[in-house]
Structure 1
Amino acid sequence: MCNLCAHSVKFILAHESAPTLRFVALQSPAGARLMREFGFSPEDAKTFVLVAGGRSYVKSDAAIRVAGYLRGIWRGLAAVRILPRPVRDWAYDIVARNRYRWFGRTESCMVPTPELRARFIQE
């Protein structure tokens, strides 16, 4: 229900170099199951998580890894990894803490089109 999250998913779908990534709302039953599987509390679903290669990445590490899936200049966003993780995560936390104020909320999550439905993990 976070506009930043919804727009991020749309951005990734539009700029992915190949249709590789799949998405799940952390608040959904499937998201909660994955959270538990990777050692996170489903009640604390407040961060961006990427699961790749059997490992989980959170916050700025997740965002940097996702940038590697993008095409063109957007792939260059991964260069942020030269900054120390505490600095990256500090900036991430500021955006996360203010996401509703800066980007707003919606009443419901994005509903994928029939063509994109397979890219979203359902229960």
Structure 2
Amino acid sequence: MEARNIIIFDGVCNLCNGAVNFIIKRDHKQIFCFTPMQSEAAKDLMSQYSLVNDYGDTFFFIKQGQCYTRTDAALEICKNLSGLWPLLRILSLLPRSFRDYCYNWLGSRRYSLFGKRDICMVPTQDLRSRFID
């Protein structure tokens, strides 16, 4: 599992599920795999990387043994998406504190703006191999 590019996301958040679907559609090389934050695999990874669960308003991206959060995670993921999405890396020129302030503002309001599911998303049979239980 360690050699994979793993995205840990909030499985009950509609915005987060939308982001996962967005990434899947633009990940033509299929380099990303996913696990909902509520899964045992995610809990094990979060423990391994000493990630405290009070990051409930973010997601985590683990790549080559390094863990990225917030805008660093989003920008790192964009590097590998098809289309013009890698150009968003230019945003890394902005101070992280400013980028993360905007990210945190949206993250703290994601349920009220986008809604919440009762259960984690269940991937289709075609996508099942991209998800870690």
TM over 0.5: yes
Which residue does 1:61 correspond to in 2? Answer: 72
Which residue does 2:121 correspond to in 1? Answer: 110
- Secondary structure in 2 aligned to 1:23? strand
Return the alpha-carbon distance in structure 1 between the equivalents of residues 47 and 61 of structure 2.
Answer: 14
* 2:66 is aligned with 1:51: no
Return the alpha-carbon distance in structure 2 between the equivalents of residues 45 and 30 of structure 1.
Answer: 17
Give the count of matched residue pairs.
Answer: 121
> Aligned in 2, Cα 1:8/1:39: closer, same or farther, shift over 3 Å?
same
Structure 1: gaps of 5 or more residues: none
* 2:18 is aligned with 1:7: yes
For residues 1-49 of structure 1, give each alpha carbon's deviation from its aligned partner in whole angstroms, at most 9, with x where no partner exists.
10000000000000114101010111211110000001112x4351210
Q: 1 or 2, which has the higher helix percentage?
A: 1
Q: How does 1:9-24 map to 2 (within 5 A)?
A: 9-24=20-35
Any conservation in 2 of the 1:26–1:45 contact (CA below 8 Å)? Answer: no
Q: How does 1:67-82 map to 2 (within 5 A)?
A: 67-82=78-93
Return the alpha-carbon distance in structure 1 between the equivalents of residues 92 and 60 of structure 2.
Answer: 17
> Aligned in 2, Cα 1:90/1:45: closer, same or farther, shift over 3 Å?
closer
Taking structure 2 as the reference length, what is the TM-score of the superposition? 0.86
Among 93, 97, 100, which residue is 2:104 paired with?
A: 93
Taking structure 1 as the reference length, what is the TM-score of the superposition? 0.93
Return the alpha-carbon distance in structure 2 between the equivalents of residues 100 and 86 of structure 1.
Answer: 23
Q: Shift of the alpha carbon at 1:77? A: 1.9
Any conservation in 2 of the 1:24–1:30 contact (CA below 8 Å)? Answer: yes
Q: Could you tell me the percent identity over the aligned residues?
A: 37
Structure 2: gaps of 5 or more residues: 1-11
Any conservation in 2 of the 1:6–1:110 contact (CA below 8 Å)? Answer: yes
- The CA RMSD over aligned residues, in Å, is 1.1
